[in-house]
Amino acid sequence: MPATNRVRIYVRTSPQVKTTIERAAIMKGVTVSGFVLQTASEAARRVVADDDSLMLLQQAIQSFVATCENPLPPTAALRNLMSVR
Protein backbone atom coordinates (compact mmCIF):
# COMPACT_ATOMS: atom_id res chain seq x y z
CA MET A 1 0.00 0.00 0.00
CA PRO A 2 1.50 3.39 -0.94
CA ALA A 3 2.38 5.63 2.01
CA THR A 4 -0.16 8.23 0.83
CA ASN A 5 -2.99 5.77 1.52
CA ARG A 6 -2.09 5.26 5.17
CA VAL A 7 -3.55 7.02 8.19
CA ARG A 8 -2.63 7.01 11.85
CA ILE A 9 -4.64 5.86 14.83
CA TYR A 10 -3.49 7.13 18.20
CA VAL A 11 -4.28 5.13 21.33
CA ARG A 12 -3.61 5.97 24.96
CA THR A 13 -3.30 3.15 27.45
CA SER A 14 -1.88 2.25 30.82
CA PRO A 15 1.74 1.15 31.18
CA GLN A 16 0.54 -2.35 32.15
CA VAL A 17 -1.54 -2.76 28.98
CA LYS A 18 1.33 -1.43 26.85
CA THR A 19 3.71 -3.95 28.41
CA THR A 20 1.26 -6.80 27.77
CA ILE A 21 0.78 -5.75 24.15
CA GLU A 22 4.55 -5.47 23.65
CA ARG A 23 5.03 -8.93 25.14
CA ALA A 24 2.31 -10.42 22.92
CA ALA A 25 3.83 -8.77 19.84
CA ILE A 26 7.23 -10.25 20.66
CA MET A 27 5.64 -13.68 21.16
CA LYS A 28 3.97 -13.40 17.74
CA GLY A 29 7.17 -12.09 16.14
CA VAL A 30 5.56 -8.86 14.90
CA THR A 31 5.85 -5.19 15.72
CA VAL A 32 3.57 -3.60 18.28
CA SER A 33 1.89 -1.65 15.47
CA GLY A 34 1.45 -4.83 13.45
CA PHE A 35 0.05 -6.70 16.43
CA VAL A 36 -2.39 -3.94 17.36
CA LEU A 37 -3.48 -3.49 13.74
CA GLN A 38 -4.02 -7.21 13.15
CA THR A 39 -5.85 -7.76 16.43
CA ALA A 40 -8.06 -4.68 16.07
CA SER A 41 -8.82 -5.49 12.42
CA GLU A 42 -9.89 -9.04 13.27
CA ALA A 43 -12.10 -7.82 16.12
CA ALA A 44 -13.61 -5.10 13.92
CA ARG A 45 -14.40 -7.61 11.15
CA ARG A 46 -16.15 -9.88 13.66
CA VAL A 47 -18.24 -7.01 15.04
CA VAL A 48 -19.24 -5.85 11.55
CA ALA A 49 -19.99 -9.42 10.39
CA ASP A 50 -22.13 -10.07 13.47
CA ASP A 51 -24.05 -6.85 12.87
CA ASP A 52 -24.49 -7.62 9.16
CA SER A 53 -25.75 -11.13 10.01
CA LEU A 54 -28.23 -9.74 12.52
CA MET A 55 -29.49 -7.18 10.00
CA LEU A 56 -29.97 -9.91 7.37
CA LEU A 57 -31.73 -12.14 9.90
CA GLN A 58 -34.11 -9.33 10.86
CA GLN A 59 -34.84 -8.63 7.18
CA ALA A 60 -35.50 -12.33 6.54
CA ILE A 61 -37.88 -12.52 9.51
CA GLN A 62 -39.74 -9.40 8.35
CA SER A 63 -40.00 -10.80 4.82
CA PHE A 64 -41.27 -14.14 6.14
CA VAL A 65 -43.90 -12.48 8.32
CA ALA A 66 -45.00 -10.21 5.47
CA THR A 67 -45.35 -13.22 3.17
CA CYS A 68 -47.39 -15.11 5.79
CA GLU A 69 -49.65 -12.11 6.36
CA ASN A 70 -50.08 -11.42 2.63
CA PRO A 71 -49.68 -14.72 0.77
CA LEU A 72 -49.65 -14.81 -3.00
CA PRO A 73 -52.75 -16.32 -4.61
CA PRO A 74 -52.36 -20.03 -5.43
CA THR A 75 -51.01 -20.86 -8.85
CA ALA A 76 -52.73 -23.24 -11.22
CA ALA A 77 -50.08 -25.87 -10.44
CA LEU A 78 -50.79 -25.59 -6.72
CA ARG A 79 -54.57 -25.80 -7.26
CA ASN A 80 -53.97 -28.90 -9.41
CA LEU A 81 -51.78 -30.48 -6.78
CA MET A 82 -54.27 -29.80 -4.02
CA SER A 83 -57.13 -31.33 -6.03
CA VAL A 84 -55.32 -34.66 -6.55
CA ARG A 85 -56.28 -37.24 -3.98
pLDDT at 39: 96
Q: What is the pLDDT along the chain (85 residues), one digit of tens a residue?
A: 566 788 989 999 999 999 999 999 999 999 999 999 999 999 999 999 888 777 777 888 888 999 999 999 999 999 899 987 6
The pLDDT of residue 59: 82
SS3 2: coil
**What is residue 1's predicted lDDT score, i.e. its pLDDT?**
53
How many of the other CB atoms lie within 10 Å of CB of 35? 19
> Domain segments of the chain: what residues?
3-83
Cα angle: 61, vertex 65, 69; to 5 degrees: 170
